[in-house]
């Protein structure tokens, strides 16, 4: 490989490892770790199928561990149906407008929402059908335009009064559903399959993160309350880093190897 390829291999491997670690512990966050950084170096039509394929496989693996309760299933259906409607619009806009602008807006929203929940953890949302549809629609649009839609669902459910085990199971299934939808629509918008070889880098690194996280989970090193706060802190820091990198790229302050011209 040329030097550019090795940089991208290292970047993808590092992102995938962290994504696997976080996905296994919290039930979401895989795409949120990978997509914000990869979009600056890979085309959007590469990022969505790469990240979503990994997310889907992770969801299948986790399905045997986290059982979704019967009363939670209608909520999952509402979230995914709304996402299906807005996802193609997100992809269309993402291809028309510089994705860095959309990422900055999304990062600001996630940052302030995360900060609000951290400063006032006693505030809780009452979930409902209308709110489910709005959250799902936002997640689908964000996934299509920026390559990650999990933050909206995570913040929405995280602010509820649901037990964290319910939240984690719902998140895992919804994120997997979003992943499948993302793959389908990304392939429909772009018939190229040149992103497939990159899975040989992303999948092993992601699974390694999974193994490490499984060990942490079995050892009981983190309680559910700590996981909840850790998830919010991660969202906040991720938003800051993502927004900062986007600003640097927009202002040509940094120049790094990319595949954006391929």
Rounded-to-integer distance, Cα 68 and Cα 172, Å: 9
Q: Report, as ranges of residue numbers, the positions in the chain whose pLDDT lies below 50.
A: 1-3
Please report, for the chain, the start and end positions of each structural domain, with discontinuous segments joined by +. 3-250
Per-residue pLDDT, 2: 45
Average pLDDT, the chain: 80
Rounded-to-integer distance, Cα 1 and Cα 181, Å: 32
Residue 195: both structure tokens together: 């992103």
Torsion from C-alpha of 261, 46, 187, 93, nearest 10 degrees = -70
Residue 171: both structure tokens together: 């998140």
Per-residue pLDDT, 102: 67
Per-residue pLDDT, 4: 52
Per-residue pLDDT, 252: 67
What is the DSSP track for the chain? --HHHHHHHHHHHHHHHHHHHHHHHHS--HHHHHHHHHTTTS-HHHHHHHHHHHHHHHHHHHTTTSPPPGGGHHHHHHHHHHHHHHHHHHHHHHHHS-HHHHHHHHHHHHHHHHHHHHH-TT--B---HHHHHHHHHHHHHHHHHHS--HHHHHHHHHTBSS-HHHHHHHHHHHHHHHHHHHHHHHHHH----TTGGGHHHHHHHHHHHHHHHHHHHHHT-S-HHHHHHHHHHHHHHHHHHHHHHHHHHHTT-------TT-
Q: What is the pLDDT of residues 194-239, one digit of tens each?
A: 888 899 999 999 999 888 888 877 777 667 667 767 777 877 887 7
Per-residue pLDDT, 189: 79
Task: Using alpha carbons only, give the angle 185, 16, 84 rounded to the nearest 5 degrees.
Answer: 20
Percent above pLDDT 70 for the chain: 84
Per-residue pLDDT, 47: 84
């Amino acid at each position: 490989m040329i030097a550019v390829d090795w940089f991208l291999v290292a970047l993808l491997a590092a992102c995938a490892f962290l994504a696997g670690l976080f996905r296994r512990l919290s039930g979401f966050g895989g795409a949120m770790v990978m997509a914000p950084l990869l979009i600056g170096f890979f085309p959007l039509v590469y990022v969505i199928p790469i990240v979503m394929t990994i997310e889907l496989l992770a969801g299948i693996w986790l399905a045997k561990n986290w059982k979704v309760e019967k009363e939670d299933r209608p909520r999952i259906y509402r979230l995914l149906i709304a996402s299906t409607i807005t996802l193609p619009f997100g992809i269309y806009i993402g291809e028309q407008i510089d994705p860095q602008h959309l990422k900055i807006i999304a990062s600001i929203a996630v940052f302030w929402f995360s900060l609000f929940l951290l400063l006032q953890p006693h505030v809780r949302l009452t979930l409902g059908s209308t709110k489910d549809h709005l959250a799902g629609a936002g997640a689908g649009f964000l996934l299509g335009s920026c390559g990650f839609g999990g933050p909206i669902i995570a913040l929405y459910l995280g602010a509820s009064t649901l037990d964290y085990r319910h939240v984690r199971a719902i998140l895992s299934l919804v994120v997997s559903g979003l992943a499948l939808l993302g793959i389908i629509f990304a392939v429909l918008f772009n018939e190229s399959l040149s992103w497939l070889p990159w899975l040989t880098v992303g999948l092993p690194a992601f699974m390694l993160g999974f193994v490490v996280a499984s060990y942490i989970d079995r050892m009981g090193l983190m309680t559910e309350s700590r996981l909840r706060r850790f998830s919010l802190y991660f969202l906040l820091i991720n938003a800051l880093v993502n927004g900062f990198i986007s600003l640097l790229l927009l202002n040509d302050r940094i120049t790094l190897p990319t595949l954006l011209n391929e």
